[in-house]
């Protein structure tokens, strides 16, 4: 991490970890910051942040300051990009979503500023736990993950799950640098038995009202969505409430025609990614609001971790302890798990 990045992030982390004096607060509106008070001290939303989140933020700062690998090393770790499935009997087209992974890596390298890697390891009492790779040879499944940051994004994580024709998954989430009051970009693509497909691509709002973000964005997504009739479905309420952390322009589809993946889903996903980066580049940063935005991202992570339907799948393949850590400490690393 560059020194200028540390200077930007440290006040925010110190705000959450309680290492600054309690001589001020951060309000939702900059107009309400009390005269003479520091805008980077303690938030006035719910008082001091809880100890679990404080520890996570401290750990994340250490990870960001000590990347273990270069982007190129992570790009090709564990033989990525794979050109064949863990099921050796399948053909070259078994990895349905690998073109998404490859395109995203290249897009990030060509378009993001100061792209760097983040750790995929979580520190536990019994020692570090690594989440970059796991496999279950007996059940025929493997999972690989990578994590990055840039000047534009606090965290970009990518995961590919390969279980042959049974299941293929590509998942990525882009968290803007908290100096930008913008939605999170979320992508979840799944295939089951090469017969049933599920796709979600969305600018996931961190506020209940679109206008509470720095700029309205749904009007930019609507023309893209309109081009793809196959991606205009509605999600069920089985796992998520679509009124929370989902926009009206979410691309959603359950389909059985695999041709939709290359014909519609791939170009739509590419356009949503490019549009998200364009938003970051168009708005002015507001460093004073970073603690508030980071708190909103924490709420997003906690909500998502509690409801992630993939937790059961990961537990069945790689064990419950690893799966819980993967969801709470890597996928949604700002989340706070309730303890009973």
> CB neighbours (10 Å) of residue 310?
20
- Residue 3's pLDDT is what? 36
Beta bridge partners of 159: 145, 171
- Residue 13's pLDDT is what? 41
Give the confidence band of 277 by pLDDT, cuts at 50, 70, 90. very high
Is residue 199 scored above 70 in pLDDT?
yes
Q: What pTM, to 2 d.p., does this model score?
A: 0.80
Number of domains in the chain: 1
For a pLDDT cut of 70, what percent of the chain falls above it?
A: 76
Number of residues written out for the chain: 340
Structural domain contains residue 297: yes
- Residue 208's pLDDT is what? 86
Phi/psi of residue 36, nearest 5 degrees: 80, 0
Is residue 34 scored above 70 in pLDDT?
no
Residue 287 DSSP class: G
Mean pLDDT of the residues in the chain: 82
- Residue 256's pLDDT is what? 96
Residue whose tokens read 């279980």:
163
Is residue 218 scored above 80 in pLDDT?
yes
Q: How far is CA 42 from the centre of its chain?
A: 26
Those residues whose C-beta lies under 8 Å from the C-beta of residue 37, and which sit 6 or more positions away, are 23, 24, 25
Structural domain contains residue 90: yes
Task: Please write the tens of the pLDDT for every residue from 41-80.
Answer: 333 334 444 544 544 554 454 444 455 799 999 999 999 9
- The residue-averaged pLDDT of 26-43 equals 34
Structural domain contains residue 10: no
Closest by CA to 7, choosing from 148, 181, 179, 214, is 179
Structural domain contains residue 66: no
Structural domain contains residue 104: yes
The pairing of strands 42-43 and 25-26 is parallel
Is residue 89 scored above 60 in pLDDT?
yes
Distances (CA, A) of 214 to 36, 181, 182, 227, 247: 25, 5, 6, 26, 15
Structural domain contains residue 50: no
Beta bridge partners of 42: 25
Task: Please write the tens of the pLDDT for every residue from 222-242.
Answer: 999 999 999 998 875 544 445
Q: Where are the alpha helices (DSSP H) in 112-230?
A: 218-226
Residue range of the domain that includes 231: 71-331
- The residue-averaged pLDDT of 120-136 equals 89
- Residue 48's pLDDT is what? 45
Considering only CA atoms, give the Rg of the chain: 20
Q: How far apart, in whole angstroms, are the C-alpha atoms of residue 38 and residue 21?
A: 10
Structural domain contains residue 58: no
Q: What is the domain-level CATH number for residue 313? A: 3.40.1500.20
Long-range contacts of 78-81 (CB under 8 A, 24+ apart): 78/132, 78/133, 78/144, 80/144, 80/146, 80/160, 81/105
170 neighbors 186 (Cβ within 8 angstroms) = no
Q: How far apart, in whole angstroms, are the C-alpha atoms of residue 291 and residue 9?
A: 10
Q: Where are the alpha helices (DSSP H) in 153-258?
A: 218-226
Structural domain contains residue 62: no
């Amino acid at each position: 991490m560059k020194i200028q990045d540390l200077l930007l992030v440290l006040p925010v982390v110190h705000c959450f970890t309680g290492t600054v004096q309690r001589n001020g607060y951060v309000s939702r509106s900059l107009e309400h910051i009390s005269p003479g008070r520091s805008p980077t001290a303690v938030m006035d939303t719910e008082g001091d942040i809880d100890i679990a989140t404080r520890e996570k933020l401290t750990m994340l700062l250490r990870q960001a300051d000590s990347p273990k690998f270069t982007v190129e090393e992570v790009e090709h770790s564990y033989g990525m990009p794979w050109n064949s499935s863990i099921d050796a009997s399948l053909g070259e087209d078994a990895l349905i979503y690998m073109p998404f992974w490859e395109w995203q890596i290249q897009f990030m390298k060509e378009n993001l500023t100061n792209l760097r890697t983040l750790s995929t390891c979580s520190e536990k009492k019994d020692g570090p736990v690594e989440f970059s790779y796991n496999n279950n040879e007996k059940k025929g499944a493997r999972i690989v993950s990578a994590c990055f940051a840039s000047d534009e994004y606090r965290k970009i994580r990518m995961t590919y799950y390969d279980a042959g024709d049974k299941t293929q998954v590509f998942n990525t989430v882009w968290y803007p640098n908290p100096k930008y009051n913008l939605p999170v970009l979320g992508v979840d693509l799944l295939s089951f038995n090469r017969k049933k497909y599920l796709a979600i691509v969305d600018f996931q709002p961190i506020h209940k009202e679109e206008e509470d973000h720095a700029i309205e964005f749904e009007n930019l997504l609507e023309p893209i969505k309109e081009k793809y009739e196959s991606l205009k479905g509605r999600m069920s309420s089985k796992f998520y409430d679509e009124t929370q952390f989902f926009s009206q322009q979410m691309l959603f589809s359950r389909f059985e025609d695999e041709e939709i993946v290359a014909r519609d889903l791939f170009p739509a996903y590419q356009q949503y990614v490019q549009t998200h980066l364009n938003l970051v580049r168009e708005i002015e940063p507001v460093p004073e609001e970073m603690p508030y935005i980071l708190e909103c991202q924490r709420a997003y992570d906690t909500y998502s971790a509690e409801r992630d339907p993939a937790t059961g799948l990961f537990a069945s393949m790689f064990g419950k302890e690893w799966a819980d850590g993967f969801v709470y400490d890597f996928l949604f690393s700002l989340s706070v798990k309730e303890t009973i």
